[in-house]
Amino acid sequence: MSDAATPGDAPATPQASTVTAFYFDGKTSRRHRVRLSVDGDAATITGDVERGCPLAQLRVSERSVHATRKVSYPDGAYLEIADRAAFDALLDATGHRDGVVVRLQQSWRGALAAVAGTVAVLVLGYWFVLPPAASLLAHALPVAIERRLGDGVLELLDKHVFAPSQLPLARRQQLSTRFERLLPPYPGTPPHRILFRKSRIGPNAFALPSGDIVMTDEMVNLMQDDDALMGVLAHELGHLHERHLTRRIIQGSAVAASATLLFGDVSSVIAALPPLLLDLKYSRDAEREADDYAIAMLRYNGIAPEHLAEVFVRLDKIAGSMPAYLSSHPASRERIAHIRAAAR
């Protein structure tokens, strides 16, 4: 294939159809000065080295403004293009087409479209895709696995945060028994256990993945209203029923993985920050769902949801409030309004 149409020994005035290049044979680091030309479906180099090759066997590196372009032979030898403008003209003449990705990469319009696409995919994924996907996955997971996730958490809390409850045993049993007699509003209530603890964190209640619902003595003393306490317990049962803990773990992992993909190269601090902020929305959504469950449960058992609203009125008086986007819980005012609206 070496019947080159272009004479190789006219280096001073390269013709439009020849391209100056360096040839490396893949065996030594010697640099050979050559001219590349194409005749029909064969490419030929002449100069320090002469070699012909069918176009179909050559691989051209992707178009780029700044990177050196290369043409590789099947045996590992390659050309480094020196005269880029002439090479572009030659490629055009041979009918070489860049791939879709390369064309996108090489135009600012394509890049801007990609920015818009990326933002759209991330936002839609965060708002609309991840929550239902996590919910589906969490409900498909056997309860036993969720239970294992919570192993040891209560022991840890008992060691560092809690002291044994100082409420009379009769009072504790009275509350537990009353709650157990309430009917759950939806089928499929997960097994659970109610525990009381004295704590340093003030009036509070929460559900652990192990199925333990912990209520602090301070909460019982603050409310002095058993119907309100039933509302609080129903809210925590709502967390268990909706599998919030597993869902949060799945959502959190997905967000963290995306952030690491985006920013992991730069700084682990920067990569860790967005997940923290983004998780707060999921946390607030979970609180709202648990509130809805509690409202449904109270009404199902003939208790006015207003008792639950009263809890937030009381709690709000104790704690200062934070802006909504920085808080793991919705603003109390919003929750109270929601409960009262649902009760009507």
Partner 1 sequence: MDHSSRDYAADQAPAAPQPIQFRASGGEYFRIWIVNLLLSIVTLGIYSAWAKVRRNQYFYSSTELAGSSFEYHGNPIAILKGRIVALLLFGGYNLGLRYSPLVGGCMALLLAAVLPWLSWKSMQFRLYNTSYRGVRFGFKGSARQAYFYELLLPFLSLLTFGLLLPFTHQRLKQYQHSESRYGTSHFAFDGRVGSFYKAYGKFVALYFGGLIVLGAGLTYALWGSLSGPNGVAKSTAFYVITAVIYLWVFLVMPLFLTLIQNLIWNHTSLAGHRFQSTLSWGRSTFIVLSNLVGIAVTLGLYLPFAHVRWLKYRIEATALLPHGSLDDFVAGSEQQVGAVGEGMMDVLDFDLSL
- Cβ proximity to partner 1: between 63 and 284 the closer is 63
One-character DSSP codes across 264-317: TTT-HHHHHHHHHHHHHHHHHHHHHHHHHHHHHHHHHTT--THHHHHHHHHHHH
The nearest distance, CB 137 to partner 1, in angstroms, is 13
Q: What residues form DSSP beta bridges with 164?
A: 197
Q: Provide the minimum distance between the beta carbon of 15 and partner 1 in the complex, in angstroms, as a whole number.
A: 15
Whether 272 contacts 259, CB under 8 Å: yes
- Collect all residues with Cβ–Cβ distance below 8 Å to 128 and sequence separation of at least 6: none
- C-alpha 254/C-alpha 280 separation (Å) is 14
Q: How far is the CB of 152 from partner 1 (least distance, A)?
A: 8
Q: Which is nearer to partner 1, 273 or 324 (CB)?
A: 273
CB of 235 to partner 1, least distance (A): 25
Q: Which is nearer to partner 1, 68 or 221 (CB)?
A: 68
Neighbours of 58 (CB within 10 A): 17
Task: State residue 35 phi and psi, 5-degree precision.
Answer: -120, 135
- Asked whether the beta carbons of 196 and 162 are under 8 A apart, the reply is no
Nearest distance from C-beta of residue 330 to partner 1, angstroms:
25
Secondary structure class of 32 (helix, strand, coil):
strand
Residue (116 or 341) nearer to partner 1, CB: 116
Choose between 77 and 228: whose C-beta lies nearer to partner 1. Answer: 77
The residue ranges that bind partner 1 (CB under 8 A) are 20, 22, 24-31, 33, 61-62, 64-70, 76-78, 80, 82-85, 101, 104-108, 110-111, 114-115, 117-118, 121-122, 148-149, 151-152, 249, 258, 261-267, 270
Q: What are the strands of the beta sheet with 78-81, ordered from one edge? A: 51-54, 42-47, 32-39, 18-24, 78-81, 70-72, 59-60
Give me the least distance between CB of 43 and partner 1, in Å please: 17
> How are strands ordered across the β-sheet holding 162-164?
162-164, 193-199, 212-216, 205-207
Strands (E), 100-175: 162-164
- To the nearest 10°, the Cα dihedral for 231, 232, 236, 237? -30
Decide whether 54 or 76 has the Cβ nearer to partner 1: 76
C-beta of 222: minimal distance to partner 1 in Å?
Answer: 24
289's tokens: 């769902």
Contacts of 126 by beta carbon, 8 Å cutoff, 6+ apart = 255, 278
User: Closer CB to partner 1, residue 94 or residue 107?
Assistant: 107
166 vs 267 by CB, closer to partner 1: 267
Task: State in angstroms the smallest separation of the CB of 80 from partner 1.
Answer: 6
